[in-house]
Structure 1
Amino acid sequence: MRIVKHALLWFALPMAVLALLAGIAPAASLNALAALDTRSVAEGVRYGALPRQQLDIYRPRGAAPAGGWPLVVFFYGGSWNRGERADYRFVGEALASRGMLTLVADYRLYPEVRYPEFLRDCAQALAFGLAQAAPLGANPKRVFVMGHSAGAYNAAMLALDDRWLRATGHSPGELAGWVGLAGPYDFLPIRNPEVRPVFFHPNVPFGTQVLDHAGRDSPRAFLGAALNDDLVNPQRNSGGLAARLREAGAPVTLKLYEHVNHMTLAAAFAPPLRWLAPVLDDVTAFVEAAP
């Protein structure tokens, strides 16, 4: 088994590197590079009644520590048009390997739904994590929401705009923090043609911009972005939100990474690609620093 695993690793690594050089990060290659022996997985756990309302649970190996593991609910990106939880096994594995019980959730996408229905799905998934933390062996007081790209927007809205969690009987005050990677937090006017119909362009509803919801009571935040991101401007979005949170008196950590782009920032969670940027180390430190 170990020989086969090493053979797969050496086959997948060159393919992943070539893909990264081309500016893409194919999930199959990244998942092939993820370790298989540091977590157990429960797949297709329902957090709602609809087909896309499912998540996978990545549980660290061994017994939970006193008080339970920290729990992270992760949402992927894809311009709210595409994405599958199975594509992000490498993220679930990476976080679980660092001692975090991790939920990677699907949510409904355009054209099935538009704003704000995908936020309602994400709020249900996060509510599942908050309610099930203790039964799963996690610490209910150390629950985090995290996302990349459009998923970072979803995570930010759940953490900063209490409308969404309040509808599930929970509140952002229950979170120990949130993590946004390459998130669009201030994106009007909408230029991406895929995103325009999601938000009813040009009649974008009021309250869609994360920046407008930053306040003193916002949970601890970690914002990470590629210094040279051609898809989501890091200075305007991550930098702008960090500034707004600081002005409000909310705790925030901002990290801008060199040598990665919008996609490879997430790819850096895969074990042999972590040299690209210390994103996993920084997210782990942020979670471990929570009270």
Structure 2
Amino acid sequence: MIKFIVVAILLILLFGGGTRMIVAGGAKSLNLGDRLLGDGDGATLQVAGQSYGAGERNKLNIWVPTGTKKTDRLPVIVFLYGGGWYSGARDDYGFAGRAFAKQGFIVVIPDYRLVPEGHWPDFLEDSAAAVAWTDAHIANYGGDPDRIALSGHSAGAYNAVMLALDPQWMKGAGSDTSAIRGVAALAGPYDFVPFEKGGRADVAMGDIRPIEKTQPISFVRADAPPLWLGHGTADTVVRVGNSQRLAAAIEKAGGAATLRTYDGLSHNDVIMALTGPLSYKGPVLAEMTDFLRVATARRVTPAP
């Protein structure tokens, strides 16, 4: 009964009273709902609006476990939000920053160019630039540049997986895919051609030929960073087959991919399950962080 009341209050906050919710095709401001969903104790917004490039949207926020010192060397997550490449803002994802920071991670949440200002590959170039900035500067905030992983939801999951699989994006940002220790991605589109003519993906991707170069599944390789792919079986926005096909292709190529499907969860359920009050939807946060801890574990140098 108490759980029902809490969820009812959250729904009122999220869908009424001036607050907005993460919805299919767009991430909208959570405002008060974000704070309530975030479970803020134990996590601190250390930096807001740090530039990582020259563009107006080349800014990022950094969340840290409360009490983090500059001399710490904590594992790092660069979290890329969804929104169909049409909408989203770093300030709307404090709940994700808090959730991961409370688990002991430094969390970097960058903005990136969106339609209509940006199209493919602008959002990939910006995402790569944010990761390269993190690699170069995160030690100043208590993070370990040798322990960086990526995460994301929906369009952000696409961005994260593309950076890990196709080396050109990190190289273009002056870095390398070796900077990425792993990717934990939720409900991403990885194998989604043909595009619906005039649809969001069609417009966001632009007139790219061959179209296969926009698809993460085209770049599977044995030496890619390990992937953890989470997806709800009731997702009607990005079908679960995207994750299933990518995981199978990675394994066939000799790489490492973990597929986790959540029965009955929708496109939005899997990201909202990161929050305390809605964690009953599934063990998404626990399973993602279990993977990310292993992926970002300190490397042991063999004795000579």
TM-score with structure 2 length normalisation?
A: 0.86
The 2-side partners of 1:49 and 1:198 are apart by 22
Task: Check if 1:182 corresponds to 2:176.
Answer: no
Moved more, 140-149 or 93-102: 140-149
Q: Say whether the 8 Å CA contact 2:135–2:145 is kept in structure 1.
A: yes
Task: Check if 1:69 corresponds to 2:84.
Answer: no
Q: Say whether the 8 Å CA contact 1:147–1:155 is kept in structure 2.
A: yes
Task: Check if 1:39 corresponds to 2:43.
Answer: yes
1:15-57 deviations in whole A, cap 9, x for unaligned? 4346899xx6472324322122212211111111111111110
Task: Check if 1:52 corresponds to 2:57.
Answer: yes
Name 1:257's counterpart in structure 2.
262
1:131-179 deviations in whole A, cap 9, x for unaligned? 1232221122210111100000000111110111001221112211011
Gap change, CA 1:193 and 1:15, over 3 Å in 2: farther
1:72-110 deviations in whole A, cap 9, x for unaligned? 001111110111111111000000000000011110101
The 2-side partners of 1:262 and 1:211 are apart by 20
Name 2:25's counterpart in structure 1.
none
Q: Which amino acid aligns with 2:160?
A: A
1:196-219 deviations in whole A, cap 9, x for unaligned? 111125856451100011101110
**Gaps spanning 5+ residues in structure 2: where?**
16-20, 23-27, 298-304
Name 2:227's counterpart in structure 1.
221
Gap change, CA 1:20 and 1:204, over 3 Å in 2: farther
Gap change, CA 1:183 and 1:114, over 3 Å in 2: same
Q: Which of these residues, 119, 137, 141, is aligned with residue 124 of structure 2?
A: 119
Q: Say whether the 8 Å CA contact 1:30–1:267 is kept in structure 2.
A: no
Q: CA RMSD in A?
A: 2.4
Cα displacement (A) at 1:280: 0.4
Name 1:138's counterpart in structure 2.
143
Q: Say whether the 8 Å CA contact 1:145–1:178 is kept in structure 2.
A: yes
Cα displacement (A) at 1:64: 5.6
The 2-side partners of 1:150 and 1:173 are apart by 22
Q: Which of these residues, 8, 15, 20, is aligned with residue 14 of structure 1?
A: 8
Secondary structure at the aligned position of 1:87 is classed as: helix
Moved more, 40-49 or 128-137: 128-137
Moved more, 109-118 or 129-138: 129-138
Name 1:4's counterpart in structure 2.
none
The 2-side partners of 1:205 and 1:252 are apart by 24
Gap change, CA 1:137 and 1:202, over 3 Å in 2: closer
Q: Say whether the 8 Å CA contact 1:72–1:145 is kept in structure 2.
A: yes
Q: Say whether the 8 Å CA contact 1:12–1:32 is kept in structure 2.
A: no
The 1-side partners of 2:146 and 2:114 are apart by 30
Q: Say whether the 8 Å CA contact 1:105–1:125 is kept in structure 2.
A: yes
Percent identity reads 35
